[in-house]
Amino acid sequence: MPDVQFEDDNIGLKSRRIFGEPTTPKMIVAVMNTLGIKNVKFAGNLLIVLSIIILIISVYLVNKAIKENSNPTIENNLSKETIESLPLEIRMKLEK
């Protein structure tokens, strides 16, 4: 099997500083400035944990909304006067 060699060891990946971008992402800098955190890694981990917590809360709220609306009944959609105006046989079925 032939050995594969590349002409350039640097595959076009350059430091962010060369492209004029900050070395630390702006979101992490904002968290560090807002909360007074000095460690970049801790600020990044804090953002990840907050994202996971928000995701869990969102999934819980969506599941709760789906369960509440998954079994709608006719009684919830009809007013009391409308139910009373129905024939007795239908009212009996609705009460079951």
Whether the model clears a pTM of 0.85, i.e. scores above it, the answer is no
From CA 87, how far away is CA 46, in angstroms rounded? 62
Q: Which pLDDT tens digit goes with each residue over 19-51?
A: 666 678 889 999 999 999 999 999 999 999 999
| CA contacts within 13 A on the Cβ side of 2 | 3
Pull the structure tokens for residue 39: 């460690």
Four-point Cα dihedral 52, 57, 59, 65, nearest 10: -170
Q: Which pLDDT tens digit goes with each residue over 55-77?
A: 999 999 999 888 877 655 655 66
Radius of gyration of the chain (CA): 30
